Chain A
Amino acid sequence: MAKFVGKSFKRVEDPRFLQGKGKYVSNLQRPGMAYVAIVRSPHAHAEIKGIDASAALELDGVVAVYTGQDLIDGGVGQLPCGWVVPECKIPERWPVEPARARHVGDAVAVVVADSPYVAEDALELIEVDYEPLPVSVGARATTEYRAQQIHAEIPNNTAYAWALGDEDGMRRAFREAAHVVELDLVNQRLIPNAMEPRACMAEWDNTTEEMTVWTTSQNPHPIRLLLSGFTLGIPENKLRVISPDVGGGFGSKIFHYPEEIIVPWVARAINRPAKWVATRSESFMTDSQGRDHVTNVRMAMDATGTITGLHVQTWADQGAYLSTFAPLIPTALSITLFSGLYKIPGIWGEMKGTLTNTVPVDAYRGAGRPEASYLLERIVEKGAQKMGMDPIAFRRHNLIPADEFPYQTPVAFQYDSGNYQGLFDKLEEISGYGDLREEQKSKRAEGKLWGVGVAGCIEASGPAPSAVAGSLGSAVGLWESGTVRVHPTGKVTALTGSHAHGQGHETTFAQIVADELNIPLEDIEVVHGDTGRIPFGMGTYGSRSAAVGGSALVRSATRVREKMTKIAAHQMESRPEDVYFDDETGNIRVRGATDDGMSFFEVALAAYTAHDLPPDIEPGLEETAFFDPSNFTFPNSAHIAVVSIDRETGEVTLEKYFGVDDVGKVINPLIVDGQLVGGVAQGVGQALWEHGIYGEDGQLLTGSMMDYAMPRADRFPHIETGRIETPSPTNPLGVKGAGEMGTIAGTVTVANAVVDALAPLGVDHVEMPFTAERIWQTIQAHS
C-alpha cells in the first residue's frame, strides 16, 4: 500500500522557509535577554598570562566578564570526546581555556552585555596578556620530533594510531604483484560554512531550577546528555534542549561546542536569558572543519589487472583538540571503506590522528568516506592507466559480483546489497560513455585539454548497530526513536529523534507514516528537535535518518495499526485477521462485508473513549519504538564528470556531470535528487575551489567568504542523475542513505576528470583544489 513512499512530493517545510518564516535560534527573543560575545585568541598558540577586564566593565551596558577560570570555578566540565579508539589520548579542552590558547579563535574570555553591539565593543576593551608560543601545523609535520608540543600529555602530537585489515595478506599481495602503483596525496582542509551560523540561547528558571537551551544542533538529545553528564551538570530532567529550524549542518552542527556550555552557564550566573550568535568570522575560526588527510597509497595488481592488495598510510590532522567524534572519522568511517566496490583480498590501512594549532577537525558531509573514496578511486584510476585499460573496463574487472552479497570485506564491514555492474551499465547508458570518449579523441586532436573522469564509490550510511558502534569506540548507542501519536480526532503527530536541517524529514517521514496508517499526508505533523517533546533520540548525521529514524517510525506506526485493527475488529464484531485498511475509502473495513466499515477517526476516537475496547487493549493510541539497525546500509554510486581546461590560463570548467546512485528504496525521488545534486555540488567544491589554508604561524588565511571559495550555481552544468534500486535488507523500508553520496563521489570524479584532461601532457596526479594557477603551473611544468 505505497500511496506515498516512492513518489515525489514538494517539501511541506518549504513555504515557511521561502517566506522567511523559519524559526532559527538567532530569531528567538526572550524578555530581558543579555548578549554574549567571546574574546578569541588572535594567536594560534599562546600562554594566557593575565586578563584585564576593568575597561570593559566600565563600559555602559556591560553586565559581566568571565574568564576560563571563572567558569571552571563555577562548575563547568571539560568537553568530552565521544568516540575513543584504543589507546587514544584525549587532550584537555575547556569551554573557555584558562591558561593556554591553542588555535586562532580559541575562547579565552566571555563578555555579557545588554545589547549585542555593546558586547562586541567590549571585546576590544579586554586586555589579554598573551605570551605567544611556537606553532605546529601540518598533519604529518606536526609529528616530527622538532615540532612544538601542543598538549604536554600527548607526545609527538599524536592522539592515536589505528590500523585495520590484513597486514600479512597485504604484504603477500605486494610480494607477488605483477604491477604496483603508488600515490602521495593530500585531502585538503575544508571549512563547512552552513548558511546559518551557529547560535545558542538559554533561559534559567531559578524557582524550578529548570534550564532551557536553544541551540543550532543536529542532535539535541546527545547535546543534553553531554551538558548534563559532563559539561554543565544540570540534571537531564531539568534540562530541555531545543534545536528549532537549523539552516544547514553538513556535520559541523553535530558536535558539542563551548558556546553551548558558556551561554546557559551565563544565563544561570546572571539569572537572565542569554544569547550568542556567531559572526561569519567566528564560524570560520570555530566551527569544526573537515578532511585534512595526508596519505600514501599503494595498490598491487596481478598481470591481468586484478587488484590484489592495498596499503594506505594516512596522517589525519585533528586540529588543536579532539572534537566530539573526531577519532571516528579517519578510522571506523574511512579505513573500513578501503575495499570500495571491489574484491580486494589484502587491505591494510594505517591511520595516525595528529594535533596541530588549528581549528578542530571532525565530521563534514561524507565524513571519512570521501577521504576513503578519494584515495581509492585515485589509485584505481592510476591502476587503469598502468594497465592501459579503459577506466570503466578496469573497474568492471574488479567489481564485487551482484551474486556475492552480503559481501564481507577484509576491513570489517559486510556490504548489505548491490549491483555494481548494473550501476556502470546505467552510467554508460545515461552518459553515452562511448560517445564521450569519441568526443574526447576529436578534442584532443584539436589540441584541447578535455577530460572524462570516472569514479565508483561506496558509503557506509545509517549508523549504526549500537553494539558494533560500541566495539569501534562509540560512547553512545546509535539507534533511533520514533513515536506515532494518533489524536482522538484521528490527526497524527509523529515524533522523531532524528533532526532535519535541510533534509526534508517533515515530508518524507510523513510519507512513511501516511502509508502505514492509510491516511492523507496533511493529517500528519512531524515533530523533531525538542527534548521536551520527544523521547530520547540520536539525531541526524551519516545519512541515517531514513534508515534508522524512518524505520523507528515504521515500527511505531505498525504497532498503532495493529492496535487499531484489534479495536476495529472488536467494534465490528469481526476477527482482526479479517480487518483491513482500505486504500480506496481510507476506512478500516471487514473483508467481504458490504458496509463502509469504520473511519480512521472513529477507530481513533474509540481508542480514547475506551467505552468498548477488547479486554486486553489499553486506552489511548500512541506507540513509541526504538530501532537499532542490524547493519549499516551501503549506498553506492558510479559517476562521470567531463571537464575542459583552458590551456592558456589553467581554468577548469565542469562541462557535464552524470551520477548513477543506488540508495536502495527511494521514499521521495524529488528530495533524493536534491540531496544528490546538492551533494555533488559540495563535492565538486572541494575538487575545484575550497581550501582552508593556514599559514606556518597557524593563522587562518581563508577566514572569510572573500578568500574561501564556495561552489556557485553558475559554475555548474546540468547534473544528470540516474538510479538503480537494490533494497537494503537491514531496515524495513529497504532504504540506504542518500545525503552524502553526491559529496563522496563528486570530488574524486572531478579529480579523475582533471587528471584525464592533463594525461596527454604526462600528468598522473594533481593536488586539489584545481585552481587556475595550480593547473597552469602543472601545464608549464609538463610542456
Chain B
Amino acid sequence: MAEALSLIASEDDARFLAGGHSLVPAMKLRLDAPGTLIDIGRIEGLRGIAYGSGDENDCIGPLTTHATIASSNLASALVEAAGGIGDPQVRNRGTIGGNIAHADPASDLPTVLTALGATIRVENSSSARNIEAESFFTGLFETSLGENELVTVIAVPREGAGTGSAYAKLFNPASRYAVVGACASVTLNNGVVSRARVAVGGLTPMATRCGSVEAALEGRSTDAINGASAQVASDVGDDILEDIHASAEYRLGVIPVYVERALQAACARAAG
C-alpha cells in the first residue's frame, strides 16, 4: 500500500485501478485516459471484512467485492444493496472502494453508507483521516477525497438488537443502477422509533440524508412512516436529476414510496 501511495504522488496523471468497473468502461469509451494506472487489486490488506464486536464498527476493506458484501453479515441494507448491483460478473469484480470513489449519483452504496452512518478512512503517503459518509459525497461524481488519497477502510456500525436497516430501489432496467433508491436504518424501542437515519439517491446529484423524514418519525410509532416518508420532498432540494430513463417529476413522485418501503422493511427487521 505504501508503494501505491507513493506512486500516485510521483507518477503523472496517475489513477488507482481496483475492480475496473467504473474506470475501465470510461476508458473504453475514451471518456477517460489516465497517464498511469496503479493496480491496487492485489493488495491483500485492503480486502475483506473485519467484523467488530460489541459497539465496534465492522470494517470493510475497499477491495472487497460486491459479491462478498452481498453474502456477508454486515448491516442488512448494505447486504441487500450489494446483491442488487449489476449482475454476477459485475458483483464478482466491482469493489466497494472503487464504487464510492467514483460516486455515481445512481449508485446504491453511497445512499446506503450515508444512511448507515458509515465512516470512510482515507490515506495518502503521509497522513490519514476519517470522513463521515454524509460529507464524503459532495456532488455529481465528486467526493472529498483529496489528491493522492486512497480509501483504505469503510467502517459501518453494527446492527444490535432493536436496530434494522433496508434498501429499496427502482432498478434502471438497462444498467441496474438506481433510478431512485432509499435506505433506512432504524432503532425501535417498545414500538417507538427511537432513532431513524434515512438517505436517498438516484434522483439527486449525490446521496442525500433526509433529516425531515427522520425528524417526522423519531419518537413516534411505525404508524407515522407513511406521513414521514412524504417529507422526503423537502429533503431532496430542487436539483432533481432527469434523463431518458425517468423525468424529475416521476423521480419526485415515487421517492416517497421507496422511502416508505425502506422504512417498513427496516422496522420489520428491527422488530426481529
Contact = CB atoms under 8 A, between A and B. Distances in A.
Interface of A: 124, 279, 281, 648-651, 688-689, 693, 701-702, 704-710, 712, 715, 771-773, 776-777, 780
B245 A707 contact: yes
Contacts of B253: 776, 780
Given A279-B28, A707-B245, A773-B250, 14 more contacts: A650-B254, A688-B173, A689-B173, A689-B174, A701-B244, A705-B174, A706-B177, A707-B174, A712-B87, A715-B173, A772-B246, A772-B254, A773-B245, A773-B247
A705 B246 contact: no
B174 A649 contact: no
B257 interface: yes
Interface in B177-229: 177, 179
B29 interface: yes
Nearest to B172: A709
Contacts of B250: 772-773, 776-777
Contacts of A704: 29
5 contacts: A693-B244, A705-B174, A707-B174, A710-B174, A771-B245
A701 B170 CA distance: 21
Interface in B239-266: 244-247, 250, 253-254, 257-258
Interface of B: 28-30, 87, 170, 172-175, 177, 179, 244-247, 250, 253-254, 257-258
Given A648-B257, A649-B170, A649-B257, A773 B175 contact: no
Nearest to B244: A701
A650 B254 CA distance: 9
Contacts of A708: 174
Nearest to B30: A124
A709 B244 contact: no
B30 A705 contact: no
Say what secondary structure dominates the interface of chain A.
loop
Contacts of B173: 688-689, 709, 712, 715, 771
Contact of A776 (B28, B244, B254): B254
Contacts of A701: 244
B264 to A, nearest CB: 12
Nearest to A280: B28
A704 B175 CA distance: 9
A772 B244 CA distance: 12
Given A707-B175, A709-B174, A773 B29 contact: no
Contacts of A771: 173, 245
A743 to B, nearest CB: 18
B244 A702 contact: yes
Nearest to B174: A709
B29 A281 contact: yes
A272 B245 CA distance: 46
A159 B12 CA distance: 55
A783 B173 CA distance: 26
A281 B28 CA distance: 10
A766 B116 CA distance: 40
Nearest to B247: A773
Contacts of A715: 173
A771 B245 CA distance: 8
Contacts of A124: 30
Nearest to B257: A648
A651 B175 contact: no
Contacts of B254: 648-650, 772, 776
Contacts of A780: 253
Closest 10 CB pairs of A and B: A709-B173, A709-B174, A773-B250, A706-B175, A648-B257, A689-B173, A649-B254, A773-B246, A701-B244, A707-B174
A777 B246 CA distance: 11
B203 to A, nearest CB: 12
A725 B177 CA distance: 45
A710 B175 CA distance: 10
Contacts of B174: 689, 702, 705-710
A651 B247 CA distance: 15
Contacts of A650: 254
B210 to A, nearest CB: 18
B254 to A, nearest CB: 5
A201 to B, nearest CB: 22
Contacts of B257: 648-649
Contacts of A705: 174-175
A635 B28 CA distance: 44
A540 B168 CA distance: 45
Contacts of A709: 172-174
Nearest to B253: A776
Contacts of B170: 649, 651, 772
Contacts of B179: 772
Contacts of A706: 174-175, 177
A709 B176 CA distance: 9
A568 B230 CA distance: 87
A353 B223 CA distance: 59
Nearest to A706: B175
Contacts of A281: 29
A194 to B, nearest CB: 17
Contacts of B175: 705-707
Most buried by A among B30, B172, B177, B250: B250
B66 to A, nearest CB: 16
Contacts of A693: 244
Nearest to A695: B244
A555 B247 CA distance: 59
A583 to B, nearest CB: 47
